Structure 1
Amino acid sequence: MREMKPWVKPVLDLGPLVLFFVLFMLYRNDTFVIGGESYGGFILATAALIPALIVAAGIQWWLTGRLAPMQIATLVLVVVFGGLSVWLNDPRFLKIKPTIIYLLFAAILGTGLALRRNWLGAVLSEALPMTELGWRRLTVRMTVFLVLLALSNEIVWRTQSESTWVWFETFGLPAALFVFLMANAGLYSAHALPPAETSDDDRAV
C-alpha cells in the first residue's frame, strides 16, 4: 500500500465532478453531431465524467488498496446510468443517479437499524470513535437526511432547468452533506469514547 498525500484524496473525489461541471458550463448551449446524432453539452460532459471517475477510482485503489462503499456504489451507478444517458442521448438517467444512491444507502442504514446492527459505525468508527447509542442516533439522522436528499434531487431535476440541476449536483448536495456533518458536532462530542488509557509500559517511558 502506498502512502497517499492529504491533498490527493480530495482531488480524486472532486476532480471528475468538477470536470463534468466545467465541460457542461462551457458547452451547455452547443450541439455536437456524431454519427448523425445530435448531442448537447450535458451528454458531452457525462461522456467525460465516466472515464474520469473510473481513472480516479483506479488511482485511489492503486494508492490505498481499497475504496469506500459509497465510492464503489457511485462508480457503478455513474457508469450504468451515465452510460445510458450517453447511449440513449437522454440526460434523465444521470439525473436520477443521486436519487437512487441516496435511497440505496438509506435503505441499507434503515435495515441495519431494524436488525440492530451498527453498520455506519463499522465503517467510520476508526475515524470517529463513539458509543453504540451515539452511532444509533447518528444512523437514524443520516437515514432521514439521505431520504431528504433523494427527495430534493427529484424535485430539482423535475422542476428546474438543466443548469440549475448541475449547480445543485456539483455544489448543493456536497454543501448539504457538510452542513449535516457539522450540525451533528454536539452528538459526536456527547457520545465520544474516552481515549484509551495509557499502559504502565507507556508511562514508564
Structure 2
Amino acid sequence: MNMLVKLALDLGPLIVFFVVNSLYGIFPATAAFMVAIGASLAISWVIHREIAPMPLITAVFVLIFGGLTLYLDNELFIKLKPTIVNLLFAAILFGGLLVKRPLLQPLLHSVIQLEEQGWRILTLRWALFFVFLALANEVVWRYFSTDFWVSFKLFGVMPMTVLFGMAQVGLLKRYAPAGDELSHQTDMQS
C-alpha cells in the first residue's frame, strides 16, 4: 500500500475525532470516530482484500467502547479504550514471548528480516511500549480535560509511536541476518 494512503487510513479517524471534538464535543466526536474507523477499514479492504490484525482489533474496540459511550452517555468508555487495547497488545506480545514465539515476527516478517534474538528483543520493547502507552492514557484521561485527552491521542501518542519505532533502527541493523542490506550497511560503517 502506498505509504501516504496507509498514513491517511491510520491517522484519518484520529484527525476526524480531534476536529469533531473541537467543534461539537466528545459525543459527536465519538460517533464520527466510529464512522471514520469503519470507513478506514472498508477502504483498506477494497485496496488489499485484507485487514491487518492491529487495525481490526482497534476498530472492534472503538466500536464497542464508542457504542457504550454513546448508549450510556458516559465518556469514560471511550477514554478507557486506549488503555485496554494497549494492555491487550502488550499481553499478546508478552504471552508470545513466554511460549518462545515472538509474535511480531509473523506480522512483520514480510518487511523486516531479523535473527531470532532480534525478534525477541523487538517484541519485548514493543510490549513494554504498549504498557507505557496504557499508563500514559490513564494519567492523561484522569488528570486532564477531555479536550486535552483528545489532543494527546493525536499529538502525543502518534509522535511518541513514530519516535519509538524510529528508535528501533539500531536493533534492526544489529540483528539483520548476514547478507541482508541493513546488516551490510552496518558492516560497511564499522
Same topology, TM > 0.5: yes
Structure 2 length-normalised TM = 0.91
Q: Give the letter aligned to residue 16 of structure 2.
A: L
In the alignment, structure 1 residue 13 sits paired with structure 2 residue 15: no
User: Identity over the aligned pairs, expressed in percent?
Assistant: 44
Higher relative helix content: 2
The aligned residue for residue 183 of structure 2 is: none
Aligned counterpart for 2:175 among listed residues 181, 184, 191: 191
SS of 2:57's equivalent? helix
Cα drift, residue 20 of structure 1: 1.0
1:61 to 45, 50, 55: 45
State the shift of 1:195 in Å: 4.1
Q: Is 1:22–2:24 an aligned residue pair?
A: no
- Opposite residue 191 of structure 1, the aligned amino acid is Y
Distance in 2 (CA, whole Å) between partners of 1:106 and 1:22 is 29
Aligned pairs for 1:167-178 within 5 A? 167-178=151-162
Equivalent position of 2:184 in the other structure? none
Question: Aligned residue for 1:201?
Answer: none
Look up the equivalent residue of 2:176 and give its one-letter code: A
User: Cα distance 1:77–1:115, how it changes in 2: closer, same or farther (>3 A)?
Assistant: same
Equivalent of residue 134 in structure 1, options 118, 138, 143:
118
Q: Which residue of 2 aligns with 1:120?
A: 104
Larger radius of gyration: 1
Letter in 2 for 1:13: D
1:115 positional shift: 0.2
Deviation at 1:26, TM superposition (A): 1.7
Q: Aligned in 2, Cα 1:46/1:110: closer, same or farther, shift over 3 Å?
A: same
**Gapped runs of 5+ residues in structure 1?**
28-40, 197-205
Three-state SS of the structure 2 residue aligned to 1:110 is helix
Alignment RMSD, CA only?
A: 1.4
Higher mean Cα deviation, 7-16 or 69-78?
7-16
Using the TM superposition, give the Cα deviation of residue 180 of structure 1 relative to its aligned residue in structure 2, in angstroms.
Answer: 0.9
User: Following TM superposition, by how much is the alpha carbon of 1:62 offset from its aligned partner in structure 2, in angstroms?
Assistant: 1.4
Q: Residue deviations 1:139-159, cap 9 Å, x none?
A: 111111111110110011011
> Which runs of 4 or more aligned residues in structure 1 lie more than 4 Å from their structure 2 counterparts after TM superposition?
none
Map 1:59-138 to 2 at 5 A.
59-138=43-122
CA-to-aligned-CA distance 1:149-187 (integer Å, 9 cap, x gap):
101100110111111101111121111111111112111
Give the direction of change, closer, same or farther, for the CA distance of 1:64–1:110 in structure 2 (3 Å limit): same
2:29 is equivalent to residue 45 of structure 1: yes
Number of aligned residues: 181
Deviations 1:55-76 (A, max 9, x none): 1101111110111111011110
1:17 is aligned with what amino acid? L
Distance 1:64 1:54 in 2: 15
